[in-house]
Chain A
């Protein structure tokens, strides 16, 4: 059974940092690209960042470029999102997702809530 389990969310002050993790099981992690998608409260889905299977190539939405860093540890089957200089508008549930047939997302985690507030 495929499982993606996010952790690391919480309450952080504006300007602060947080690192999200996504622990994966049930598939060969090192052979799939991965993505982070977020959803602000009551809003739609927003793609945040993606990383290739090897971790060499990364992609970012303009809204997070220069502040967020995606990475992965294939030996631990874990995906990360380092979030710096957080803003109120980064408040959202953050989902990790597995790429399937390119960036189409068949398997998702349950999400972790990040709240940026003073």
Chain B
């Protein structure tokens, strides 16, 4: 089973700042990594798929990079609605499909 480790667990930033979230896989997943945003009481929302492709309707301030075992989600300039929990998920070697434990992005 591929384990995904996200860091940091919590990130405290202010609106307008740049956010950098990390996801590390226990073995290579090639580019088969996705990022999701989840707000309280809501289903997750797909942001990025296959490491660097923005999903439909996702603003350009969200970008993804990486391959193999190290991946990054960058939010270039935080908007108030971006404060949420972010999960990475791999499909490079499944089953099982696995998710990271999440990074909470909170307002400083």
Q: Is the CB of B43 within 8 A of A104?
A: no
Bound complex: CA A27 to CA B97 (Å): 23
Of the listed stretches A7-15, A17-25, A39-47, A79-87, chain B binds: A39-47
Q: Is the CB of A62 within 8 A of B44?
A: no
B-contact 0/1 string along A43-65, CB 8 Å cutoff: 01111001000000001111000
State the interface size on chain B (CB cutoff 8 A): 24
B28 at the interface (CB under 8 A from A): no
Closest to A103 in B: B91
Q: In the complex, which residues 98-116 of chain A have their Cβ closer than 8 Å to any Cβ of chain B?
A: 100-106, 108-111
Q: Is the CB of B49 within 8 A of A108?
A: no
Bound complex: CA A112 to CA B49 (Å): 25
Find B95's partner among A45, A61, A110 (CB 8 Å cutoff): A61
Find A108's partner among B43, B87, B91, B101 (CB 8 Å cutoff): B43
Bound complex: CA A34 to CA B55 (Å): 18
Residue ranges of B at the interface with A (Cβ–Cβ < 8 Å): 32, 34, 36, 38, 43-46, 49-50, 55-56, 87, 89, 91, 94-102
Residue ranges of A at the interface with B (Cβ–Cβ < 8 Å): 35, 37, 44-47, 50, 59-62, 95, 100-106, 108-111
